[in-house]
Amino acid sequence: MSKPTTARRLISYALVYKFRILGAMLILCCSVAAELGGPYITKTIIDHHLSTGAQEIAPVLKLLGLYMGLLLTAGLCNYSQAYILQSTALQIIKNMRMDLMQHIQRISLRYFDTTPIGQVVSRIANDTEAVRDLFMSFMATFVVSIMQLIGIYVALFLLDWHLALYGLVLPPIFVVIMYVHLKYSKIFITIMRARLSDMNAMINESIVVMPIIQAFRREKVTLDEFEVLNKDRYVNQLKQFRIYALSSRNVVGTIGSLVTAMVIWYFGGKSLGSAISFGVFYAYIDYLGRIFQPIIGIFDQLTNAQRAFVSAEKVFTILDMEGQDVEKVGHVQRPEGIVKFDNVTFAYKEGENVLKGISFEARKGETIALVGHTGSGKSSIMNLLLGFYEPQEGAITIDGRNIKGMSKQALRKHMGIVLQDPFLFAGDIKFNVSLYNEDISLDRVKGALRDVGAAGFIEQLPNGYDEQVVERGSTLSSGQRQLISFARALAFDPSILILDEATASIDSETEGLIQRALKVVSEGRTTLVIAHRLSTIRDADQILVLHRGEIAERGNHDTLMALGGRYAKMYQLQKGASAVVG
C-alpha cells in the first residue's frame, strides 16, 4: 500500500479542526463580500449623481452609510477569521510536534547511531516551525486571496460581462509564472534546508566537544568547516531570492499596470456614454486593481509554502520509520533475575557479526563479568539484554521467558544500568537520582547516595541534595557524576544490575567506596559487569573473556589465572603497569 502524499498528510492534520476552519471560511466569505461591496456602491453613487445632477442627497447619504457599515463589518470579520485560522494553525503544529517527539521515543537506537543529534533537533524545532508557516500562510493568505479573486470576478461579471472577459486573460499568465517559480525555487530551498540541518548538527557537535577543539587548537579548522556550510546556504538563498524578486511583485505589478493602461486606452478612445457608464468603468478599474493584491499575496507566500513542504517531507520521513509503542506499565512481577543467552548472534550491519554464538547463564545473585579488548562485543551483550537491539539468531531469556516477546518498558522496569560516561540532567541532585519516580522517596534517594559513598561530598555542597547541576553535570567531577549515576541505579532497586565500565573513570579512593557498596547492593541481584580494571572483578562468580565476538575463556578469577590464557596475560599486564606507576 502506497504512503499518502505530503499534501494529504498535512490536510489530515488540518481536518481535525475542520469545523473551526469552516467557520473561519464562512466569516471570510462575509469579509470578502463586505469589502467588494464598496466599489459597487461607489459605482451606484456615481451613476446616481450623473443621472440626477446631484439634486437628491438623501439616497447618497444612505449609500455612504451602508458603505461605512460594510467597512466596519469587513474589519471585524477580518480580525475574527485571522484569529481563528492562525490559532488553529498553532494548534496543528503543536500536535505535529508532539507526534514527532513521541515517535522519536519509539524509534530504534539504530537510527540515532547513524544520525547526528543536530539533525534530529532540526526536525523537531526548525522543520515543524516551517510547517507552521505553511498552515498560517495557506489558511490566512492563500485561502483569503483565492476567495478574494473569486469574489472580484463575480463582481466583474455582475458589472459587465464583456469587460470581465478582459480580466480572464490574467489568471493563466500568473499560473505559468507560478509554475516556473515553484519549479526552480524548490531546488534551492531543498539545499537550504539540508544545509541548515548540517549546520545544526555541526553546532551541536562543536559545543559538546568544545574542550577537545580548544585543547587541540581546532578553532580555525572548525570555523572553516562551518563557513563552507554557511556560505553554501547563503549562495542558494541568494539564487532563490533572485527567482522570487523576478517573479513576484515585479512581474505581477508590471503586468497589472500594462493591463490597466490598455483598458483605459481602449475605452478612453471611445465615448464612455455609448460604450459603458462612467460608474461601471470606475468600478471595473477599482476591481481590476484589486486583482493584483491577492496575486502578490500568493506569490509572497509561495516561498514559505515550498519551504514548508520540503520540511514536512523530512518530518514525515521520521514519522514513517518503524517503532515500538511506549506502553504504560503497571505492576510487573519482580523477576528473580536468571539471565540466559542461548547461542546468540548479532550484527549492527548485515553480514558483519559482532557477536557469534554467545551462550551463558547468570543465576540469581550472581555477578557475571565481561572482559576483553575494545570491539570484542561486551557492550553489545548489554544492549541486547536491555532490548535496544534484537539478535539475528538465538534467544535471550529472563527467568525462562524470551525477552523478544516482552514489552520493552516491562523488560527494563526491574533493570538498573550505570554507564562509563554518566549523564546528569539539568536539575537538582535528588531529581537525578529519582528521575521524578513517585515510588522513590527522598529518604530512599539519600540512602542510595549513602550506600555508594556520595553522601559525604553532596552534604558539603551549598544546597546539599537540592544543589542544581547543569546538563551533563559539568559542574561536578567525573567521579562525582559516576557516584550519582550509580545511586540512580540503586534507588530503583533493580533485580538485574548492569555496570558498563562503571569504574573506568573513578579514582582509587572512590573505587574502593563503590566496591564496598557493591558487595551490599549486589546481594540477591544478578549483576553483569563490563570491566577494564580487572582488579575490580576478582570476586565475580563467573568471568567471560570475549575475543572478536566469541567467548574465548570462562571461569572465576582463580580458574582463569591458573589457565594462563588471555585473561591471565591481561591481568599480569595491568598488575605490572600498576606496579610501575606505583
How far is residue 438's CA from residue 48's CA, in Å, rounded to a whole number?
80
Mean pLDDT on 217-225:
87
How far is residue 351's CA from residue 560's CA, in Å, rounded to a whole number?
32
What is residue 272's predicted lDDT score, i.e. its pLDDT? 52
Answer yes or no: is pLDDT of 343 > 90.
yes
Question: For residue range 398-433, what is the model confidence (pLDDT) as tens digits?
Answer: 988 898 878 888 888 888 888 777 778 878 888 888
Please give the residue that has the higher pLDDT: either 366 or 407. Answer: 366
What is residue 38's predicted lDDT score, i.e. its pLDDT? 60
C-alpha cell recorded at residue 437: 519516580
Flag the least confident range among 88-92, 143-147, 213-217, 363-367: 143-147
Please give the residue that has the higher pLDDT: either 238 or 132. Answer: 238
* Domains (range + CATH), the chain: 6-319 (1.20.1560.10), 339-581 (3.40.50.300)
Answer yes or no: is pLDDT of 144 > 90.
no
How far is residue 482's CA from residue 454's CA, in Å, rounded to a whole number?
10
Hey, which of 45-59, 269-283, 341-355 has the most confident mean pLDDT? 341-355
Give the contacts of 76 (CB within 8 A, at least 6 positions apart): none
Mean pLDDT on 244-261:
75
Mean pLDDT on 221-225:
89
Question: For residue range 436-468, what is the model confidence (pLDDT) as tens digits?
Answer: 888 888 888 888 888 877 888 888 888 888 888
- Cα–chain center distance at 453: 39
CB distance 244 to 180 below 8 Å: no
What is residue 55's predicted lDDT score, i.e. its pLDDT? 55
Backbone angles phi, psi at 532, to 5 degrees: -100, -35
What is residue 32's predicted lDDT score, i.e. its pLDDT? 67
How far is residue 14's CA from residue 21's CA, in Å, rounded to a whole number?
8
How far is residue 31's CA from residue 26's CA, in Å, rounded to a whole number?
9
What is residue 551's predicted lDDT score, i.e. its pLDDT? 92
How far is residue 20's CA from residue 132's CA, in Å, rounded to a whole number?
17
How sure is the predictor about 506, in pLDDT bands with cuts at 50, 70 and 90? low
How sure is the predictor about 44, in pLDDT bands with cuts at 50, 70 and 90? low
What is residue 42's predicted lDDT score, i.e. its pLDDT? 64
Helices (H), 247-377: 251-268, 272-275, 278-319
Answer yes or no: is pLDDT of 560 > 80.
yes
3-state secondary structure of 428: strand
C-alpha cell recorded at residue 156: 466583474
Mean pLDDT on 338-350:
91
Mean pLDDT on 134-147:
72
Mean pLDDT on 14-23:
78
Residue in the structure block whose three cell numbers are 561530598: 457
How far is residue 354's CA from residue 22's CA, in Å, rounded to a whole number?
57
How sure is the predictor about 50, in pLDDT bands with cuts at 50, 70 and 90? low
Residue in the structure block whose three cell numbers are 526548525: 126
Answer yes or no: is pLDDT of 376 > 50.
yes
Flag the least confident range among 57-71, 152-166, 269-283: 269-283
What is residue 47's predicted lDDT score, i.e. its pLDDT? 61
Please give the residue that has the higher pLDDT: either 90 or 361. Answer: 361
Mean pLDDT on 476-485:
80
How far is residue 135's CA from residue 115's CA, in Å, rounded to a whole number?
28
How far is residue 294's CA from residue 208's CA, in Å, rounded to a whole number?
48
How far is residue 544's CA from residue 555's CA, in Å, rounded to a whole number?
7
Q: Which residues of 253-273 are buried (b: 16+ CB within 10 A; e: fewer)?
A: eebbeebbeebeeebeeeeee
How far is residue 472's CA from residue 478's CA, in Å, rounded to a whole number?
10
What is residue 509's predicted lDDT score, i.e. its pLDDT? 64
Question: For residue range 1-11, what is the model confidence (pLDDT) as tens digits?
Answer: 456 677 788 77
Mean pLDDT of the chain: 79
Mean pLDDT on 269-289:
64
Mean pLDDT on 254-274:
67
What is residue 581's predicted lDDT score, i.e. its pLDDT? 39
How far is residue 267's CA from residue 282's CA, in Å, rounded to a whole number?
11
CB distance 448 to 430 below 8 Å: no
User: Residue 544: in which H helix or E strand, if any?
Assistant: strand 542-547
Answer yes or no: is pLDDT of 330 > 90.
no
Mean pLDDT on 28-48:
65
Answer yes or no: is pLDDT of 522 > 80.
no
Answer yes or no: is pLDDT of 28 > 80.
no
Please give the residue that has the higher pLDDT: either 151 or 354. Answer: 354
Mean pLDDT on 290-303:
77
How far is residue 44's CA from residue 38's CA, in Å, rounded to a whole number?
10
Long-range contacts of 70-73 (CB under 8 A, 24+ apart): 70/34, 70/35, 70/37, 70/38, 70/41, 71/34, 71/38, 73/30, 73/31, 73/34
Mean pLDDT on 388-393:
89
CB distance 160 to 287 below 8 Å: no
Flag the least confident range among 232-241, 297-306, 369-378, 548-557: 297-306
Sign of the alpha-carbon dihedral angle for 442, 447, 453, 459: positive
- Cα–chain center distance at 435: 23
Mean pLDDT on 77-87:
79
Please give the residue that has the higher pLDDT: either 536 or 366. Answer: 366
Of 517, 180, 520, 548, residue with least CA distance to 378? 548
Mean pLDDT on 275-280:
63
What is residue 268's predicted lDDT score, i.e. its pLDDT? 59
What is residue 1's predicted lDDT score, i.e. its pLDDT? 47
